[in-house]
Amino acid sequence: MIPVNLRPLDEPLSPELGNRFGLVELTLPIALADPGERLAEVHRRMDKIKHSPEGPVSYRALGLVGLTPALVESRIVDLISQAESVVITNVPGPGRPVYFAGVKVTGLLAWVPTGGSIGIGVSIISYDGVVTVGLQAAANIVADPERIVRAFAREMRALKRLHRGTRRRAQPPAQAGSRRTAAGGRRVARRGTADRANLT
């Protein structure tokens, strides 16, 4: 399950704040063995969902559920959550450093709210060129959360290798007589790759 923002990013927040999002269901392509194909398929599926009425419809449905008595609302939430296994949210944070009471904020960490019987939450938030991923798991559902963390690290390393390989194939061959410049260019490209890896 993924919350989809329905508020335009350039729209200023109202004084009342509040959320405006719909909940959509994304089936992960775990049957694909290639990490690049998995990433492309997730992007394709999410892009299709974002251009469908699923988000706005679920937003209105959630609003109606919120008008029901607490007991009815709780049972509806439980019924919906039984069909889901994890909630994943991606929040774009400030692209530049921000300060609180004159002190620079060094990082952000978010926790996604879960409900019903959903026992896993993954939060992805960016801040000042760095992306932080948070994982929360119910002990009665996930006995070893570190296993998910290790699997995530392996997947990121695989995507990073794939990205580097794509960049090497796209780079033109170095000209003869310019070995020093070409070597320096490779060092710059290597640093740029690491920076971009933090942003993806």
pLDDT above 80 (res 195)? no
Q: Which position has the higher pLDDT, 181 or 38?
A: 38
pLDDT above 50 (res 191)? no
pLDDT above 50 (res 180)? no
Instruction: Give the gyration radius of the chain's Cα atoms.
Output: 21
Give the number of residues written for the chain.
200
pTM for this one? 0.64
Q: What is the mean pLDDT of the chain?
A: 76
What number of helices (H) and strands (E) belong to the chain? 5, 7
CA angle 28, 157, 135 (to 5 degrees): 55
Q: Which position has the higher pLDDT, 47 or 188?
A: 47
pLDDT in the model for residue 16 = 67
CB of 59 closer than 8 Å to CB of 18:
no
User: pLDDT tens for residues 97-144?
Assistant: 999 999 999 988 888 877 667 788 899 999 999 999 989 888 888 888
Residue of 62, 43, 66, 44 whose CA lies nearest to 3: 62
Q: How many C-beta atoms surround the C-beta of residue 97 within 10 A?
A: 11
**Inter-axis angle of helices 54-65 and 35-50, nearest 10:** 70
What average pLDDT does this structure show over 147-153? 90
Q: What is the DSSP letter of 68?
A: S
Residues 134, 132: Cα–Cα separation, whole Å: 7
User: pLDDT tens for residues 52-103?
Assistant: 887 778 777 777 877 788 888 778 777 777 767 788 888 888 899 999 999 9
User: pLDDT tens for residues 7-34?
Assistant: 666 666 667 666 667 778 888 888 988 8
pLDDT above 60 (res 182)? no
Residue of 89, 111, 116, 120 whose CA lies nearest to 23: 89
Q: HSE, CB side, 13 Å, CA atoms: give it for residue 70.
A: 0
Q: Which position has the higher pLDDT, 119 or 178?
A: 119
pLDDT in the model for residue 183 = 37
Q: Find all residues with CB under 8 Å of 58, minimum gap 6, and list them.
A: 22, 23, 24
pLDDT in the model for residue 186 = 35
Residues 85, 115: Cα–Cα separation, whole Å: 11
pLDDT in the model for residue 104 = 94
